[in-house]
Chains A and B, each alone.
Chain A
Amino acid sequence: MTDIDRNLINSESVLKKPPKGDCYIWLSGLGLSLCLLMVFFIIGLIVWEGTRAFWIKDIVQITLNQDSQTHIDGSKILGGEIVLKQQKSIAEVKKSGDPNESNMEWQLYVGNKDHYGFSFFYIDAGDIKTITKPGQLIKIEREEYGNLIGYPEKIIIDNDTAIDSDSSIFEGQFSTLVNEVADRRDEIKKLEKAEIGKINRKIKSFQLQKRTTDDPDSLKGLEEKLKSLQKEYEQLAERASRLRQTQNSHKLQCRLITGKRIIIPLGSIINYHYPNQMSISDKLFGFFQNISNFIVSNPREANTEGGIFPSIFGTFIMTLVMTLIVTPFGIITAIYLHEYASKGVWVRLVRIGVNNLAGVPSIVFGVFGLGFFVYFLGGSIDKLFFSESLPTPTFGTGGILWASLTLALLTVPIVIVATEEGLSAVPRGLREAGLACGASKWQCLYRIVLPASVPGILTGVILAMARGAGEVAPLMLVGVVKLAPSLPVDGIYPFFHLDQKFMHLGFHIYDLGFQSPDSEAAKPMVFATTLFLILLVVILNLTAVTVREKLRKKYSMSAI
């Protein structure tokens, strides 16, 4: 072949064929874009729906056509927040056969569940005659039965004096009275939770002592103490019930949009506003207020109202305890496996076992946790240390400690694998340098290899945290509950109550979405809770990533 021939062949191949493997680049790019698209879609949906739940919407008053079949309690005037406007299914439109009927339907949040029997209502868009937004419409957040939507008419003070809503002092009076109610509610809560709770705990411990002592003298002393405590308790209970009575002494009379008159005690009002009178800045302020209330307050009404503070706190504490358990456990295991165990069939088997452990369905861990931690370990602890309170279990029932241990077991393979990777990533030169300086294997490991592999180890911890915080199935068996009476960490000695049941954001989502008596009302809460679960995981991860970056800078191995 001459040079000219060869050139010819080369130039032809350059012109005709694209380089081999080009289509695979496209394919991998496509995979990535699909992945990103899905992630952005789901994050976008959660953020949009989650934040929308806190926005204060206008309330509309709708008058329906006289000939329409739709009504609430016989009234053709109704109103509420417009939740969504949607196309009806074709089957539904055909079935009715009404020529006037529009193919659109509106879903309204009408509130007043105690009077209507429902809080969401569908109307046909074709039936609507007029829509107005009267400024007088008030939305009242109540302790029970969700929101009230209607026109305030008058405040009835102590069953005789009334302040009409037309009068100039109404607004001021109303707001002061509601503030007073809120203060009193805090006081009642403090009385019942903290002070009466304290006395209850004392009574309980004295009763336990009474059960165990045989000495008649100390028995007598205990009984006297119990009596005085009982007296104290009664006084406090009396004070609380008096406060409760005052809560209900003033009342508010309202007219619902349907025309019905109702009277509610002021004590049930948590918050109120006039959405139609609010400017954008008012609404923005209300929006942030709603978010902060959601974060810091306790849930009400089977979790469909109120906030999610106990869930956020429970998830946080559980993840923290889990991390504290899994990190040392995983690192120690990985060090032995990687550095000391002689490489053979056994170590290979153990490593395969560890990797497979990561693939076991999480519910299996839940069952194991229930059987081993709760019944066996917890039961033994109860028999040994808390035998006086049996048959009421202390540790022999689900609790945050057992949940954390179960999740630690679930996530330990992640930490082990990451630590082993981190250890192998340390250059051999560093180990040799340490040994050549006269360090023993342990000194070399502890002073050089481990610090240098900390970033890798932390990556494992981050992954474990993310997995642990989002896990729900095993928790349902080992200590998560729908509503926990108190937090696992509080100001009461011994401050950490690791035997206590707790609430969890993941379980909260499941409970709201699928176990709630009013799933429509819970829908915005599901999105909002999901948003906060994601935020919590992101915050935990960001913290760990920041720590890792700091350490990476410190132990950077770039020079080697």
Chain B
Amino acid sequence: MKKLVPLVAVIIVAATAFVLLQRNNNVAKHEEKTEATEERARTEVGSPIDHEDTKAIESSINEQEIKAARTSDVKVDPALSEDITLLDEFKEISAEHKTSLLQMTRRIFPLATEKTEVKDIVQALNKYKLEPKVGVDKNPFTGSMSVIRTNKTLPGTRYFHTQYFDEEQGGIVQHLSFEFKPGTQSFEAVVKAVAEGLPAHAEVTVSNSGYQGWRNIDGYIVWVKKLDESDLSPDTPFNAYTKNDVGTIRVVKEIDIHDHAPAFKAQQREEIQEQEKENEPMIHD
């Protein structure tokens, strides 16, 4: 028996050493794999990978999945992760999409002002790794319009678009918009997120199940619309649509042109009544 004890001890030590050695090997391989993955991903994606993104990537070595994971390279603002409680009631929308929505409405949307410059918007988009691209449409007669869009998107959002008009000194953001993924609760969630970010003096102009509008936002209006088939014409410039996009939520901030003051509304009501009188069957001359 006494001879067996050292033997058992040796076996235990050997087994332990073996297990430890295996673990080390695995860790080493794992690290090698991670490095290789990072290197490959860095080459294909073309940007540094944050450490927290590595776990997402290392679990999907398949190249297709690496490509699909490109949207996970966009940077989420960590300060917003707790704020999504604002949208708690919308259970059908993922936390990721809620965060994206708040990131757009709180960080990007407010950039549409008379004082913002193109570089401010590019900077913000770069901060979130959305790969902005700017098209400058200029001519000698009506100056320059810069269009800013992005190659990447925050999850659940797409088609970020800004139009910036130059002036002799400076310029003005004339239009800023993005779209949110369709869903049964998407419209309400977007309206809530947008409303929460508006100044106190913003006034609601239109409010129904598919459209919400505000005015009096320092010379701008904001509107949120659930797109229907008539909005998805292939003739629309910039954004590609199919019929599957019905229900997409479009969010826009743009320079006000018309007015929704009470006097204006009264006039419009009168004109709508006149219009209703014209709805008679067509006749042939």
- Interaction A to B: no
